Amino acid sequence: MEITPDTHIVFTVAGIAVSATVVWTWVVMALLVALSIAMTRNLTSDFAPSRWQNFLEALIGETRRQIAEVSHHDPGPYLPFIGTLFVFIATSNLLIVFPGYEPPTASLSTTAALALSVLVAVPIYGIAESGLWRYLKNYMEPTVFMLPFNVIGEVSRTIALAVRLYGNAMSGVVLAGILISIAPFLFPVVLKLLDLLIGFIQAYIFSVLAMVYIASALRARRGNAVASADAEASSATKQGNQGA
């Protein structure tokens, strides 16, 4: 048994081994690009849009709503990044219904690349929103002694993001393999159903966490009034919980 599709070499091009991870990542990418082109070709503003346009509008609208709820910002600038993360991870997790498919998210290389893109996107969005100095000052909150812990936190949450998605996707593949060897046919199918749910939730969680991390970098710009109102609201909820 293998715990990563990286070791499964599909073919070799000019001495470079192409693993199953790369092949299936490109399959997912090609599928997404082809579907996007096909869906956006006949966009109308009629009262009766096509079913694909309906689906697309529901997807985009819901993504925008979730981003706005998490960040309390205009979702416009974050929609391309967060939406792409969500759609890619969800597609690569949901395609496990096809036999022979190996999800690229079950490889630590893919999830590490996705987490690294979040690590790079956080300062980019933060600096674009509040400027370089205020973004860097964010690391020295509440005191300058917190600087190393903030930096460590930045790195460790990136690793956690990568390992969480990898662990969930990989556990589905490994468990299915083990179950097929000890209890074939029915039980692995039921477990695959659970995997579909878990894969979708993990895609949601990855994109929500990415948005939460970006929003925490944006917080530098929000005024003290908003921050203190937030703190009061959260402490009020805490007291309410304790009182009950």
Residues of this chain that bind another protein (CB under 8 A): 1-4, 66, 69, 160, 163-164, 166-168, 170-171, 174, 201-202, 204-205, 208-209, 212, 241, 244
Q: Which is nearer to another protein, 170 or 218 (CB)?
A: 170
Nearer to another protein, 1 or 37 (CB): 1
Give whichever of 38 and 212 is closer to another protein, judged by the CB atom.
212
Q: How many other C-beta atoms are found inside a 10 Å radius of the C-beta of residue 137?
A: 13
CB of 111 to another protein, least distance (A): 11
Side-chain-facing half-sphere of 32: CA atoms under 13 Å: 18
Cα–Cα nearest to 79, from 121, 37, 41, 47: 121
| Closest distance of CB 66 from another protein, Å | 8
| φ, ψ of residue 44 in degrees (nearest 5) | -130, 160
> In terms of C-beta distances under 8 Å and separation of at least 24 residues, what long-range contacts does 94-101 make, across chains too?
94/196, 94/199, 94/200, 95/28, 96/172, 96/192, 96/195, 96/196, 96/199, 97/192, 97/196, 101/24
**Bridge partners, residue 12, by sequence:** 17
In the complex, minimum distance from the CB of residue 17 to another protein, in angstroms, rounded to a whole number: 18
**Minimum distance from CB of 164 to another protein (Å)?**
4
- Residue 232 CB, shortest distance to another protein, in Å, is 18
Residue 69 or 141 having the CB closest to another protein: 69
Spatial CB neighbours of 115, under 8 Å, sequence gap ≥ 6: 158, 159, 161, 162, 165
d(CA 8, CA 181): 20
Query: Of the two residues 78 and 166, which places its CB atom closer to another protein in the complex?
Result: 166
User: From the CB of 208, what's the least distance to another protein, in Å?
Assistant: 6
Question: 114 or 135, CB closer to another protein?
Answer: 114
How many CB atoms are located within 10 Å of the residue 2 CB?
14
